[in-house]
């Protein structure tokens, strides 16, 4: 058979072709890359969630209170 395949003979004359699991490329560097990618994605989602919570808390609270004019209080004033 081709590279990466094992043929196992069965008792009834049939055969089973199994594929060996491929090892990730890069060895320990590949593992570090996967973990750093996961950490980057997690940090992005967490920072996005914090920002969304801030927006909802500030603007949602102002909107529920009916004081839409307060939205501009947090903006810097131009001279």
Three-state SS string over the chain comes to: CCCCEEEEECCCCCEEEEECCCCCCCHHHHHHHHHHHHHHHHHHHHHHHHHHHHHHHHHHHHHHHCCHHHHHHHCCCCC
Computed over its alpha carbons, how large is the radius of gyration of the chain? 29
State the pLDDT at residue 1: 44
More confident residue, 17 or 40: 40
Answer yes or no: pTM beyond 0.75.
no
State the pLDDT at residue 79: 60
Tell me the pLDDT tens digit for each residue of 21-63.
656 566 778 888 889 999 999 999 999 999 999 888 888 877 7
Q: Which residues pair with 19 in a beta bridge?
A: 5
More confident residue, 17 or 47: 47
State the pLDDT at residue 58: 80
């Amino acid at each position: 058979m081709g590279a990466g395949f094992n043929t196992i003979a069965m008792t009834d004359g049939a055969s089973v072709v199994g594929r060996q699991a491929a090892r990730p490329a890069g060895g320990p560097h590949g593992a570090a890359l996967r973990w750093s990618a996961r950490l980057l994605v997690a940090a992005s989602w967490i920072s996005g969630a914090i920002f969304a919570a801030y927006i909802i808390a500030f603007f949602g609270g102002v909107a529920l209170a009916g004081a839409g004019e307060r939205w501009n209080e947090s903006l810097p004033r131009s001279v």
